[in-house]
Amino acid sequence: LRGLGRFWFGLEPQTQGRFTSTASAQKENTTAKAAKESKTFQAIQEERREQAERSVLISCPSKINEKKFLDYLSKHGTINKHFFYNSYGAYAVVEFSSRESIASLKESINIPAVEHEAAVPFKSRLLSFKWPGSQSSSHPMPKFKVQSPPSINEINQLLSEKDSIDEQLQCLTEALELTEENVSLRFLVCSLLRDITGAYFPECIIRPFGSTVNSFGKLGCDVDMILDLEGIYATSQKKGSGLSLEYQVKRGASERAVTQSILSVIGKCVDQFGPGCVGVQNILQARCPLVRFSHQPSGFQCDLTANNRVAMKSSELLFLYGQLDPRVRHLVFGVRCWARVHSITSSIPGAWITNFSLTVMVVFFLQQRNPPILPTLDRLKELAGPSDKCVIEGNDCTIVSDLSKITLQQNTDTLEKLLQEFFEFYGNFPFNKASINIRKGKEQTKPETTALYIQNPFETTLNISKNVNATQLERFVALCRESAWLLQQKEILNRSSDSPWGFAALLLPSVTSGAGVKSRRKRKLEPASSRIKNLLDSLKIKGGETVAKKGSA
């Protein structure tokens, strides 16, 4: 966390807008740091997990006297970092430099006596800071760190201030990506949950995976968690004498049945003992059984799974790809934002393309460039060292962990070019016969007739986009074609002050009607969108053939 002191201690000058250029320049994200320090994925996760274990989450008055608050807590030990944020009330995340401080703090805390009710006496690290009497407001207010993404209007405003599509995509990434504080809060919520599950399985770890750690997370995305029980199987027994002891255990019919039974108990505990955990749902019949709940103090929706190591490896793989070239993250953030605005992706599960599939599609596209921007998964396996060897349930999930072993070819494509060609590539991809395969970095013959076939990177007989139906794929293809065409129009690329241009123009409601593309957003058509509509109308007459001729979905 080098260089973040200023950030954590809230000493930077108050900025007026949340995304002024100074603010974004000051922001140093996880990915940039990792690249600089070239730590492995595992090392970064371990460091963050350990920091979270030394941290507490405290609800506090919004007009808090920061200095007095810190002085009070410092009685228990040195505070490494802290920050404040708002989520239906003010909260502080406080990281001590040692775990003993947490023990000392806990000893000094009472369980409150509640009138007309009774309390579950569970001593968690979610605390409330009480301040006797009214506070004077003469002291400076702490700076509250934003934890939610900018609105579409704020995004449009930001994009309009940039001078090129490349700058727009970089700025979009900076505005949407998880902040340092947000990632810390995510790890802290996992660690707080571990305090509950640790009562049953003291060696367990709750690890975040998915977009919290894969470097493509957007502020506001869910926290995917794994209850990792691997540590329990580690044994210190020495073989030799022939004598041994073993634990008597309860058995289930299958791994899945055991996972379901563990998660059902954990779900109940989270519901009944977990402070701040509300709306707990046990979704145990899903392909990947999970417990879903909201963690109110952080505002996160959490999905807790178990026995899901392959998903963690997929997160590492995406992280690694995100590290190799900055254009990867900029393009993924752009494509994900574009897809969300046009309802290609959705927060509700269904027949839509998921963010995970979209990211794999971007990776595949970047492997197709000439020269390629990203290496194949097979190449990442070849470069792996002996300690990288990883086999999960019979699937070889080995990938290199040391990024410095990967040499990349010189490719100087601009983001504008990549965006344009991404849309052309998928606007013309032979989805009817080919599958997307990032292991080989080549399209393959589709093994089955599902609309979209994207080979699961590690469980190679599975399709990660099996859920996508033909209608959703057609919508995606039609929008790709429309966006590719829009980017060819000079007018779209002309920076003008009064209407969205460049990438922002691609976020306007789609006007392609024949292909079944409808925008759910009923946004008022602005001058720019009527301009685009006219351009598209002319496309139907003049250029329609060009688009229609190329490939088929």
Give the interface with ligand GTP as residue ranges (CB under 6 A): 209-211, 214, 217, 221-222, 224, 311, 314-315, 354-356, 456, 464
Q: Which is nearer to Mg ion, 19 or 209 (CB)?
A: 209
Partner that binds at residue 180, options Mg ion, ligand GTP, none, CB closer than 5 to 8 Å by kind: none
Exposure string over 32-49, b if 16+ CB within 10 A, otherwise e: ebbbeeebbbeebbeebb
Beta carbon of residue 374, minimum distance to ligand GTP (angstroms, whole number): 17
- The residues that bridge with 293 in the sheet, in sequence order, are 302
Please select the residue that binds Mg ion; options are 142, 208, 210, 289, rule is CB under 5 A.
Answer: 210
**Contact partners, residue 119, CB within 8 Å, separation at least 6:** 111, 112, 113
Cα separations in angstroms, 431 against 470, 520, 551: 10, 25, 9
Beta carbon of residue 221, minimum distance to Mg ion (angstroms, whole number): 5
Beta carbon of residue 347, minimum distance to Mg ion (angstroms, whole number): 10
Q: Which is nearer to ligand GTP, 317 or 508 (CB)?
A: 317
Strands (E), 368-409: 391-392, 395-396
Beta carbon of residue 397, minimum distance to ligand GTP (angstroms, whole number): 11
Select from 204-212, 315-323, 474-482, 495-503 the region that touches Mg ion (CB under 5 A): 204-212
Partner that binds at residue 456, options ligand GTP, Mg ion, none, CB closer than 5 to 8 Å by kind: ligand GTP
With CB under 5 A as the rule, give the number of residues binding Mg ion: 4
Q: Which is nearer to ligand GTP, 333 or 501 (CB)?
A: 333
Beta carbon of residue 148, minimum distance to ligand GTP (angstroms, whole number): 14
Q: Which is nearer to Mg ion, 318 or 397 (CB)?
A: 318
Three-state secondary structure call for residue 58: strand
Beta carbon of residue 334, minimum distance to ligand GTP (angstroms, whole number): 15
Task: Tell me the per-residue interface mask from 222 to 251 with Mg ion, x by CB under 5 A, - otherwise.
Answer: x-x---------------------------
A 10 A CB-CB count for 391 gives 9
Q: How far apart are CA 129 and CA 131, in angstroms?
A: 7
Instruction: Give one DSSP letter per residue of 193-227, joined into a string.
Output: HHHHHTTT-TT-EEEEEGGGTSS--BTT--EEEEE
**Sign of the CA dihedral with 16 first, then 172, 21, and 489 last:** negative
Q: Alpha helix locations (H) across 9-137?
A: 21-26, 30-37, 41-53, 66-74, 99-107
Q: Which is nearer to ligand GTP, 162 or 330 (CB)?
A: 330
Instruction: Give one DSSP letter per residue of 446-493, joined into a string.
Output: -SS--S--BB-SSSTT-BTTTT--HHHHHHHHHHHHHHHHHHH-HHHH
Please select the residue that binds Mg ion; options are 147, 173, 211, 465, rule is CB under 5 A.
Answer: 211
Partner that binds at residue 464, options ligand GTP, Mg ion, none, CB closer than 5 to 8 Å by kind: ligand GTP
Q: Which is nearer to Mg ion, 147 or 367 (CB)?
A: 147
Provide the token pair at 394: 């019979």
Q: How far apart are CA 464 and CA 449, in angstroms?
A: 14
Q: Which is nearer to ligand GTP, 350 or 516 (CB)?
A: 350
Beta carbon of residue 253, minimum distance to ligand GTP (angstroms, whole number): 23
Beta carbon of residue 223, minimum distance to Mg ion (angstroms, whole number): 7
Q: How far apart are CA 441 and CA 372, in angstroms?
A: 9
Q: Which is nearer to ligand GTP, 355 or 367 (CB)?
A: 355
Partner that binds at residue 214, options ligand GTP, Mg ion, none, CB closer than 5 to 8 Å by kind: ligand GTP
- Cα 428 to the center of its chain, rounded Å: 29
Q: Which is nearer to Mg ion, 222 or 413 (CB)?
A: 222
Partner that binds at residue 323, options ligand GTP, Mg ion, none, CB closer than 5 to 8 Å by kind: none
- The residues that bridge with 57 in the sheet, in sequence order, are 93, 126
79 close to 94: Cβ distance less than 8 angstroms: yes
Residues within the interface to Mg ion (CB under 5 A)? 210-211, 222, 224
